[in-house]
């Protein structure tokens, strides 16, 4: 039996109930994790989860029967049984109609790939505007009503041009570009090594959503390398429609268009904030940083998460806020078990545009805390595992300055996990656990995409969209409104 799978970290296995979020005819399954190596606080269990003591072994036909919410164990691709079993939707692909295709391959022929998905960032200041265009052209970032979706690209052009000067200032302040590609490559290499050390040779690929190397490039390489089984690991601990959801949507689109890829068994790890290794690694970093303060017990632990618009959570069912809160509570419980019971708070940073974002806002809370007499504060970035513009510029420069102006005397910041070895080892375990549940992405297509394929309709949309966007661009009132909100 595989060493990692058999190492029983938990006395019993834990299973979060699956929730389905229906978004624009797409279905996201979000129970989102394998059942071993999940964080179990020593004295309490999450109210959102149920526990199962026994898991049966079932055949692949059971997967098909169970569809999206099905429960099953799959045979191990290396000829062994997976003792933890998996929910198709917990780490597997949620196909639109629940259809799955089984791999006919045998153990010895397997060539395993791991695809790390990330946001991507501009590498030079010249890249900033086109990077922003790619970001705002994403219908999971600017969610327009269906009737206005033809405006997406013209609007992205407008917003990216208006936003670019402010973004460029930020990137200039951190050395002229995003460090994301370099760090993600390092994480990929470290993960490959960790998996090799566990007796599982794999190829690790990096696919970015908005900049190089784009997901399409990574997939081309996966195809060239003739990978036979793939684990997709988005580098976002918590699921959001705007991050993991968007990256997976692109991947599903690419896979459905291709005969080979649409048959490739794939397992997607939707979220992993609840994994024991991740929680403990975060707690280690916080504990270490607290000890740098003169009076560690007096320090307020200030979790700062990247925000999303409120409508994502309240209208579209994005589980991001729930997962974030649960993640923070796990980290705090782990710290408490180590005898650390500092005060803590959670706030959301990096809002963009004129809509309401998740509250409380980081900048407002910092001012309030200063006014309330908090004097020592440790900032903990919690929605991302690499350093990036929002840690290096927004937290380290803008928020630090604001905090010090607001009366906070002693400031610290927990580094992002990067290639911390306990964290990488845990990701390797997550990959190993996810592998047996790989199933093919359904070749069926959503109604919206079938409609969008009509070339006449597409040309009409682009024509009227461009005219409308042209007038928008010329309207000084419009430009002023956007400028006020974006800068
Ligand atoms: C979990 C993390 C992230 C969520 C959720 C998220 C949502 C989200 N972001 C924007 C707009 C922008 N994000 C930008 C950069 C950026 N975003 C994340 C992470 C999340 N975004 C990261 C890690 C980065 C930095 C990448 C890098 O270059 O290092 C930017 C560009 C920078 C800037 O101008 O501020 C924008 C714009 C929206 C609108 C959104 C949810 C809808
Ligand atoms: Fe962002």
Unique residue bearing structure tokens 């834990």: 14
Strand partners, 28: 21
Q: Which CATH architecture has domain 276-418?
A: 3-Layer(aba) Sandwich (3.40)
Residue 466 CA to ligand 2 centre (angstroms): 26
- Using an 8 Å Cβ cutoff, are 90 and 31 in contact? yes
What does the alpha-carbon distance between residue 313 and residue 321 come to, in Å, rounded to a whole number?
7
- Using an 8 Å Cβ cutoff, are 427 and 194 in contact? yes
Is 244 a pocket residue for ligand 1 (Cβ < 6 Å)?
no
Is 245 a pocket residue for ligand 1 (Cβ < 6 Å)?
no
Is 133 a pocket residue for ligand 1 (Cβ < 6 Å)?
no
124 pLDDT more than 90:
yes
pLDDT band at 36 (very low <50, low <70, confident <90, very high): low
pLDDT band at 95 (very low <50, low <70, confident <90, very high): very low
pLDDT band at 441 (very low <50, low <70, confident <90, very high): confident
Is 119 a pocket residue for ligand 1 (Cβ < 6 Å)?
yes
278 pLDDT more than 90:
yes
- Using an 8 Å Cβ cutoff, are 425 and 191 in contact? no
Closest ligand (CA of 136): 1
Query: The pTM is what?
Result: 0.78
Residue 267 CA to ligand 2 centre (angstroms): 25
Sign of the CA dihedral 463, 468, 474, 479? Answer: negative
Q: Can you give the length of the chain in residues?
A: 487
Instruction: Determine if residue 148 is left, alpha or beta; phi over 0 gives left, psi from -120 to 50 gives alpha, anything else beta.
Output: alpha
Closest ligand (CA of 352): 1
Contact partners, residue 126, CB within 8 Å, separation at least 6: none
Q: Which helix (H) or strand (E) holds 152?
A: helix 152-173
Residue 178 CA to ligand 1 centre (angstroms): 12
Taking each helix axis from N to C end, the angle separating 180-197 and 421-434, rounded to the nearest 10 degrees, works out to 70
Instruction: Tell me how far CA of residue 394 lies from CA of 49, 389, 402, 464, in angstroms.
Output: 35, 7, 10, 38
Over residues 53-78, the mean pLDDT reads: 25
Instruction: Tell me how far CA of residue 240 lies from CA of 205, 316, 356, 422, in angstroms.
Output: 22, 11, 16, 25
Domain-by-domain residue ranges, the chain? 125-176+454-486, 276-418
For the chain, give percent helix, strand, coil, nearest 5: 50, 15, 35
Return the residue whose CA atom lies nearest to atom 42 of ligand 1.
Answer: 141
Structure tokens that stand for 72 in this block: 């099953």
pLDDT on residue 62? 28
pLDDT on residue 75? 29
pLDDT in tens, 324-353: 999 999 999 999 999 999 999 999 999 998
- Using an 8 Å Cβ cutoff, are 243 and 234 in contact? yes
Residue 306 CA to ligand 2 centre (angstroms): 7
Sign of the CA dihedral 388, 393, 394, 399? Answer: positive
Return the residue whose CA atom lies nearest to atom 4 of ligand 1.
Answer: 306
Strand partners, 189: none
CA angle in degrees (0–180, nearest 5) for 137-268-104: 125
Determine the residue of 352, 394, 418 to mutate for testing ligand 1's pocket, defined as the one with the most ligand atoms within 8 A of the Cβ atom: 352
Contacts 24+ apart (CB under 8 A), 134-139: 134/209, 134/210, 134/211, 135/160, 135/210, 136/160, 136/163, 138/209, 138/210, 138/246, 139/24
Residue 60 CA to ligand 2 centre (angstroms): 39
What does the alpha-carbon distance between residue 129 and residue 146 come to, in Å, rounded to a whole number?
26
pLDDT in tens, 220-241: 999 999 999 999 999 999 999 9
pLDDT in tens, 392-415: 999 999 999 999 999 999 999 999
458 pLDDT more than 80:
no
pLDDT on residue 40? 74
Q: Are strands 203-208 and 112-118 parallel, antiparallel or unpaired?
A: parallel
CA angle in degrees (0–180, nearest 5) for 411-414-399: 45
Selected residue with higher pLDDT from 446 and 263? 263
Within 13 Å and on the Cβ side, how many CA atoms surround 434?
32
Q: Which helix (H) or strand (E) holds 203?
A: strand 203-208
Is 134 a pocket residue for ligand 1 (Cβ < 6 Å)?
no
């Amino acid at each position: 039996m595989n060493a990692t799978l058999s190492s029983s970290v938990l006395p019993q296995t834990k299973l979060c109930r699956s929730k389905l979020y229906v978004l624009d005819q797409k279905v996201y399954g979000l129970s989102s994790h394998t059942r071993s190596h999940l964080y179990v606080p020593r004295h309490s269990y999450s109210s959102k989860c149920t526990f199962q003591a026994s898991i049966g072994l079932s055949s692949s036909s059971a997967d098909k029967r169970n569809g999206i919410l099905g429960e099953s164990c799959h045979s191990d691709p290396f000829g062994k049984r997976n003792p933890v079993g998996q929910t198709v939707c917990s780490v597997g692909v949620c196909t639109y109609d629940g259809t799955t295709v089984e791999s006919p391959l045998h153990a010895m022929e397997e060539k395993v790939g791991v695809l790390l998905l990330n946001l991507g960032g501009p590498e030079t200041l010249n890249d900033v505007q086109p990077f922003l265009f790619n970001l705002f052209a994403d219908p999971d970032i600017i969610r327009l009503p269906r009737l206005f979706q033809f405006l997406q690209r013209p609007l992205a052009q407008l917003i990216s041009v208006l936003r670019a000067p402010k973004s460029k200032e930020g990137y200039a302040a951190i050395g002229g570009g995003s460090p994301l590609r370099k760090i993600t490559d390092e994480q990929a290499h470290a993960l490959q090594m960790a998996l090799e050390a566990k007796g599982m040779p794999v190829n690790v690929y990096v696919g970015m959503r908005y900049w190089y190397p784009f997901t399409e490039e990574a997939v081309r390489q996966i195809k060239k390398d003739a990978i036979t089984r793939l684990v997709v690991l988005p580098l976002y601990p918590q699921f959001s429609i705007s991050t993991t959801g968007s990256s997976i949507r692109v991947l599903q689109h690419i896979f459905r268009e291709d005969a080979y890829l649409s048959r490739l068994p794939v397992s997607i790890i939707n979220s992993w904030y609840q994994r024991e290794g991740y929680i403990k690694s975060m707690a280690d970093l916080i504990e270490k940083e607290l000890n740098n303060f003169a009076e560690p017990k007096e320090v307020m632990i200030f979790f700062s998460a990247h925000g999303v618009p409120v409508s994502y959570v309240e209208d579209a069912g994005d589980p991001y806020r729930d997962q974030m809160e649960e993640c923070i509570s796990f980290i705090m419980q782990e710290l408490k078990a180590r005898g650390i019971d500092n005060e803590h708070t959670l706030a959301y940073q990096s809002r963009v545009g004129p809509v309401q974002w998740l509250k409380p806002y980081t900048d407002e809370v910092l001012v309030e805390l200063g006014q309330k007499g908090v004097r020592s504060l440790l900032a903990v970035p919690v929605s991302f595992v690499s350093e990036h513009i929002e840690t290096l510029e927004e937290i380290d420069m803008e928020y630090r300055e604001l905090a010090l102006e607001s009366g906070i005397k002693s400031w610290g910041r927990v580094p992002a996990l990067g290639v911390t070895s306990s964290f990488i080892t845990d990701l390797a375990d997550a990959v190993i656990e996810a592998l047996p549940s790989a199933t093919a992405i359904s070749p069926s297509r959503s109604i919206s995409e079938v409609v969008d394929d009509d070339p006449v309709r597409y040309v009409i949309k682009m024509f009227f969209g461009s005219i409308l966007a042209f007038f928008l661009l010329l309207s000084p009132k419009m430009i002023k409104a956007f400028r006020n909100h974006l800068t």
